[in-house]
Chain A
Amino acid sequence: MNSDTSFKLVFVGFFISLLLTLGIYFLGVGHYWSGLTLMSVILVLAGVQAVFQMIYFLHVGIESKPYWNLITFLFMVLVVVVVIGGSIWIMYNLNYNMMM
């Protein structure tokens, strides 16, 4: 990748991240939604922003074959989903079942 491409990538990534950050903030303070809806929307926006930063800042997924960066990144995502999803699921059920 030449340096002109990386200048463009950095600026595009920055402006997308800025919009998403402000979006998260105003959804949080604006009381348009609440509870689970708000939480899901914010988590989706945060996830989208993280993916944009991985692509535009850390250049994951814009390499040529055989895509080792992308494959290791996707493996990390899988492990993270299992760790976080699994912990919260188990502990939620534990709390629920221990309540008398």
Chain B
Amino acid sequence: MTETHHDVYSKTIFGFLVYLLTDFMMFATLFATFGVLRHSTYGGPSARDLFHLPFTLTQTLILLVSSLTVGLGGAFAHRQQKNKTLILFGITFLLGIVFIGMEFSEYGQLIRQGASWKRSAFLSAYFTLLGTHAIHVFLGLLWMIVLIIPVFLSGLTEASVRRLSCLRMFWQFLNVVWIFIFAIVYVIGVSE
């Protein structure tokens, strides 16, 4: 019996989901570290002194909207609508750039204030957790460029729809991780 395209598709999606779940476990260890060390400021600034919630809310909403646009892009790819797929993945890419730009401007601001990862265990845990998320977003953006160009040049094939689905899942997974960063690191950190 030969494998149908549908089998290849659903096996790939399942395999990719398993990868994402293991990535969640890695983030869980970083969250555990942060949870343990969040009060260990060693006389340095705490979350309340450093973070500005409206800024973070803006970032959160940008990432949430990009999760919507990438979901719509994935659905249009399944419908073989090339232009709409390209536009929505393009919007997602731009939102991702804005998000990561805000992320790095915040790191820059913290470091200029003397609140770098060297200052305290709390800040080391903060930069490790947030830095790992930012690297994921950065790699997601690179991946998006790599996938979009062939779709632009030669249209949506069986393989490119499958790859775009994996990218969509990866991007939405990053948003799920960010919910916890927003809630635990920022909102609980500032209101505590």
Binding site for B on A (CB under 8 A): 3, 6-7, 9-11, 13-14, 17-18, 21, 24-25, 27-29, 31, 34-35, 38-39, 42-43, 45-46, 49-50, 53-54, 57-58, 60, 68-69, 72-73, 75-76, 79-80, 83-84, 87-88, 91
A3 B79 Cβ-Cβ under 8 A: yes
* Residues from chain B with Cβ under 8 Å of A35 in the complex: 192
Complex alpha-carbon distance, A83 and B35, angstroms: 11
The interface centre, meaning the residue of B14, B24, B179, B192 with most chain A CB atoms within 10 A of its CB, is: B179
B130 at the binding interface (Cβ < 8 Å): no
A65 CB to nearest B CB, Å: 13
Q: A3-B79, A76-B21 are in contact. List 17 more A-B contacts (CB 8 A).
A: A17-B64, A17-B67, A21-B179, A24-B187, A28-B190, A28-B191, A31-B191, A35-B192, A42-B184, A50-B179, A53-B67, A72-B18, A87-B33, A87-B35, A88-B32, A88-B36, A91-B36
B94 at the binding interface (Cβ < 8 Å): no
Binary contact readout B51-84 vs A (1 if CB under 8 angstroms, 0 otherwise): 0010001001100110110011011101100000
B31 A76 Cβ-Cβ under 8 A: no
Interface of A is mostly: helix
Given A42-B183, A49-B179: A10 touches B71 (CB 8 Å cut-off)? yes
18 residue pairs from A and B, CB less than 8 Å apart: A3-B76, A6-B74, A6-B78, A25-B53, A27-B187, A28-B188, A28-B190, A28-B191, A29-B53, A31-B191, A39-B192, A43-B188, A58-B20, A76-B21, A83-B28, A84-B28, A84-B32, A84-B35
* Residues from chain A with Cβ under 8 Å of B176 in the complex: 50, 53-54, 57-58
Interface of B is mostly: helix
* Residues from chain A with Cβ under 8 Å of B33 in the complex: 87
* Residues from chain A with Cβ under 8 Å of B28 in the complex: 79-80, 83-84
Complex alpha-carbon distance, A42 and B183, angstroms: 7
Count of chain B residues near A, Cβ 8 A: 46
Given A10-B71, A28-B187, A53-B172: A18 touches B182 (CB 8 Å cut-off)? no
B182 A24 Cβ-Cβ under 8 A: yes
* Closest chain A residue, CB of each to CB of B27: A80
B17 at the binding interface (Cβ < 8 Å): yes
